[in-house]
Amino acid sequence: MATFFEGESHTFSEYLLVPGYSSHENIPANVSLETPLVRFRKGEEPSIKLNIPMVSAIMQAVSGPKLAVALAQQGGISFIYGSQTPEQEAAMVEEVKSYKAGFVASDSTLTPDMSLEDVLELKERTGHSTMPVTDDGTAHGHLVGIVTSRDYRLSRDDRAKKVSEFMTPADKLVTAPEGTSLHDCNDIIWEHKLNALPIVDKDGRLTSIVFRKDYDSHKSNPDELLDEHKRYMVGAGINTRDYAERVPKLIDAGVDVLCIDSSEGFSEWQKLTIDWIREHYGDSVKVGAGNVVDAEGFRYLADCGADFVKVGIGGGSICITREQKGIGRGQASALIDVCAERDRYFRETGIYVPVCSDGGIVYDYHMTLALAMGADFLMLGRYFARFDESPTRRLNVNGSYVKEYWGEGSARARNWQRYDLGGKKGMSFVEGVDSYVPYAGPLKEGVDGSLTKVRSTMCNCGALDLAELRDKAKITLVSATSLVEGGAHDVILKDSNADTNYRG
């Protein structure tokens, strides 16, 4: 006979934090958000720590190389999506590992034959106003010119006008040869009062662009997450089918950490995958596993040797798993139970296996709640999809900018491996949707804004780091009516969009 599961099934929005005593030392500037990414033994240090407790979801619409660099600059890590060939995924990892801060590969390149209409469309889509022109329209074609918004007048110019007629041609451009240091590029930018400096190789091919605003990137990103060779750190998703082919390619590309990407991870497939990695690489390759939603699932994966365990089934914003299959659990309750088991496991074995709360974060305060409930770090999809750096298109829908965001289990992504239960390959039904999310500008600004709130609430709880937050946080369930009391109520809002502004 089936048993009734004894745990509860609440979501983040059903909880609040009750403030605790805060001393004069509890100021946001004193708060550390450092957190372990991978397992470690009592008394030892984890081999990888994050400087902020955020990782980006293993999704086509979220974790490409550009977002990975932007997030590593802030101190978190991306997991490049695995729903592509091993070669493509490894190439993305390599792109992050070979990224030189300040040297940007163009993602909005024109050909001379394109029209002003094309320029405006590209600008709308990417938000970039400086666009290199190359002979073949690729980011590494021969440089033939540059277009900026100062090159055309919308009020006068015909939209059919060709790029070649209004671009600044290459012979009138200041460029720098490949190999020029960032320091020297900056001197050239200042000397010639430029906004962008194209870097070209000896054959005149574009290699990258240095923008004036990017020069100080290192100085303005004190938390950036670097490996021992000062390269940005990056993770990658793997599946339980083709690991023998995929993992070696990712390792050759320089990946720092892997994560098995599965909608339901309490399974022997995860053990077989971890066993294979241990057999071939020992403990030198770090691999997270999941997803689980209870203590039993956590213990199974911890015993299998997972370096971290991911929690969450059915809570993702684009997820319809609960509706389609009737499995899952409220994210907050799942997290609370799993974190309690992590602590028990630590007391029993002396091994600490970090827990990642995956999916379902809507408001910034949900991040603080999840950390207070015990999460070592958070995996976010919708949150990161909204930023400039996510790999998806920015569109103007009814006068508002949006970005596309689709689930790995949607018909669009067709990531059947994530939902694989063995047997014949293929997706028989969808577990995710294709959607839009409100555009939210550059990642740095968004993350800074969210973490300012997290630090501030931690101060209200008297906590200066995440371990202290877990110890001191007083969490309370709230009633449905007090949820209404928590928002603006019984007033007529002057700005009808104000409520969406609180959302992270």
Measured between alpha carbons, how far apart are the two ends of the chain, in Å?
A: 43
Classify the C-alpha dihedral 394-400-404-405 as positive or negative: positive
Q: Which two tokens stand for residue 292?
A: 């689980």
**Whole-angstrom Cα distance, residue 489 to residue 498?**
12
Q: Rounded to whole angstroms, how far apart are CA atoms 343 and 409?
A: 32
Name the active-site residue from 319, 339, 356, 459.
319
**Which is nearer to ligand IMP, 302 or 313 (by Cβ)?**
313
CB atoms closer than 10 angstroms to residue 68: 29
Question: Strand 143-147 relative to strand 168-169: parallel, antiparallel, unpaired?
Answer: antiparallel
- Of 205, 386, 418, 455, the active-site residue reads 418
CB of 312 to ligand IMP, least distance (A): 6
Which residue, 109 or 263, has its beta carbon nearer to ligand IMP? Answer: 263
CB of residue 55 to ligand IMP, shortest distance in Å: 9
Q: Quick check: 158 and 116 in contact, CB under 8 A?
A: yes
Please report how close the Cβ of residue 319 comes to ligand IMP at its closest, in angstroms: 3
Length of the chain: 504
Tell me, what amino acid is at 180? T
If phi over 0 gives left and psi between -120 and 50 gives alpha, with beta otherwise, what is residue 137? left
**Which residue sits closest to ligand IMP, CB atoms considered?**
432
**Comparison of 119 and 319: residue with beta carbon closer to ligand IMP:** 319
Q: Is 185 a catalytic residue?
A: no
Kindly state the smallest distance separating residue 321's Cβ from ligand IMP, in Å: 5
| Closer of 115 and 435 to ligand IMP (Cβ) | 435
For the CB of residue 288, give the shortest distance to ligand IMP in the complex, in Å: 12
Contact residues toward ligand IMP (CB under 6 A) are 57, 59, 263, 312, 316-319, 321, 358-361, 379-383, 407-410, 431-432
Residue 311's contacts (CB-CB under 8 Å, 6 or more residues apart) are 290, 291, 292, 293, 298, 331, 334, 335, 338, 355, 356, 357, 358, 375
- What beta strand segments (E) does 354-432 contain? 355-358, 377-380, 394-397, 400-406
DSSP bridge pairs for 154: none
**Closest distance of CB 39 from ligand IMP, Å:** 20
Beta carbons of 129 and 173 less than 8 angstroms apart: no
Smallest separation (angstroms) from ligand IMP to the CB of 130 = 31
Which of residues 205 and 418 has its CB atom nearest to ligand IMP in the complex?
418
Closer by beta carbon to ligand IMP, 198 or else 409? 409
Q: Give dist(CA 403, CA 396) in Å, integer.
A: 9
Q: Is 356 considered catalytic here?
A: no
Rg (alpha carbons) of the chain, rounded to whole number: 24
- Positive or negative: CA dihedral 115, 119, 120, 121: positive
**For ligand IMP, which is the closer residue by CB, 58 or 197?**
58
Q: Are strands 54-56 and 143-147 parallel, antiparallel or unpaired?
A: unpaired
Class of residue 259 by CB neighbours under 10 A (exposed 0-12, middle 13-18, buried 19+): buried
- How far apart CA 335 and CA 6 sit, in angstroms, is 15
The residues that are catalytic are 319, 418
